[in-house]
Each structure stands twice: as C-alpha cells, then as structure tokens.
C-alpha cells in the first residue's frame, strides 16, 4: 500500500472520480503509519522520505519476526 501511495502521489487525481476515491482509500490506510514518521523526519526540500523509512522499518521488522 505504501508503494501504491508513492505512485499515486505522482499523478493528480480528480477527487470526485474513481481514481480520486481509490487514492483517498489508500491514503486513509497508510496515514496511520506514515504521518508519525513524516512529523519526526526533517524536511528535505520537496521530497517526502517517510515512505522509504517505513518500508525499511517494515523490512527490518519482518526479518526479526521471521
């Protein structure tokens, strides 16, 4: 879902269209994980590094659990 959010952020979506509705659902699913990381990270220009941090964190968590 994080990857889908990153890809969707590259394309503008009409909020009333199907693409906009899908985008809104993906944002609602990923916001609880990404927003705290976004608040903790310093801004790096226009780049949002929180998806990278979350994916790396999930990979580490997966390797610890399995």
Annotated domain spans of the chain: 2-65
* Class of residue 18 by CB neighbours under 10 A (exposed 0-12, middle 13-18, buried 19+): exposed
Between residues 15 and 35, the one the model is more confident about: 35
The pLDDT score that the predictor gives to residue 45 is 85
- Cβ atoms of 37 and 53 within 8 Å: the answer is yes
Question: What's the pTM value of the predicted model, to 2 decimals?
Answer: 0.79
The pLDDT score that the predictor gives to residue 62 is 94
DSSP 43: P
**Residues 55, 31, 39, 57: what is their CA dihedral angle, to the nearest 10 degrees?**
-20
The pLDDT score that the predictor gives to residue 11 is 87
Tokens for 54? 């979350």
């Amino acid at each position: 879902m994080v990857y889908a959010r990153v890809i969707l952020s590259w394309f503008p979506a009409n909020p009333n269209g199907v693409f906009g509705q899908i985008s809104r659902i993906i944002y609602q699913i990923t916001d609880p994980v990404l927003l705290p990381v976004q608040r903790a990270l310093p801004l790096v220009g226009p780049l949002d590094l929180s998806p990278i941090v979350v994916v790396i964190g999930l990979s580490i968590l997966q390797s610890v659990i399995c």
